[in-house]
Amino acid sequence: MSHEIRTPMNAILGMLNLLQTTELTARQRDYASKTEGAAQSLLGLLNDILDFSKVEAGKMTLESEPFHLERLLRNLAVVLSANVGARDVEVLFDIDPALPTMLRGDAMRLQQVLINLGGNAIKFTPRGQVVLRLRKVDETADTVTIAFAVQDSDWYCTAAPGTYF
């Protein structure tokens, strides 16, 4: 099933990429760029749905590869900052200095989860801050337990009960 869904989306993205290498007016280039962004978002959503189906079926396998935590967080910062748009929202990272720089795990899945958590906080924060906190909870010879938390300005909880924006 995943092949049947991903293949057409990847074809669309490939064609949009090729289109952007041709001679286009500024308006056409803008349309193609926005369409590519929307297609990337849709592919991400499809991947999330397919991954959720794997989790539900007990068929999700996680990788165990070394990765640089700082590199993952830099990539995450770029993605989350792009989600802010024109709103007055600051994305901050509060990282425990006791965390090791190299970790072993599934960096792609970790980044996917953090993008979803951070993106959701950004989506519902019209102004203020979204802070991603990383804390070392425990460490043994071969494992590190990290607590991840996303905190936002909590503006939507200050309204009177029953009042929604």
pLDDT (tens, 9 = 90+) of the chain, 165 residues, equals 677 877 888 889 899 999 999 999 999 999 998 888 888 878 888 888 888 888 888 888 888 999 999 999 998 998 888 888 888 999 999 999 999 999 999 998 899 899 989 999 998 898 999 999 999 999 999 999 999 999 998 655 554 444 444
> Are 82 and 111 contained in the same domain?
yes
Residue 138: inside a domain: yes
Residue 164: inside a domain: no
pLDDT on residue 165: 40
Prediction pTM value = 0.69
> Residue 98's Cα: distance from chain center in Å?
24
Phi, psi values for residue 130, rounded to 5°: -125, 120
- The number of folded domains in the chain is 2
- Structural domain boundaries enclosing 37: 2-56
How far, in Å, CA of 81 to CA of 77, rounded?
6
Phi, psi values for residue 148, rounded to 5°: -110, 135
Helix 26-56 and helix 107-123: axis angle, to 10°? 110
Residue 29: inside a domain: yes
Q: Are strands 127-139 and 144-152 parallel, antiparallel or unpaired?
A: antiparallel
> Are 78 and 32 contained in the same domain?
no
> Are 96 and 146 contained in the same domain?
yes
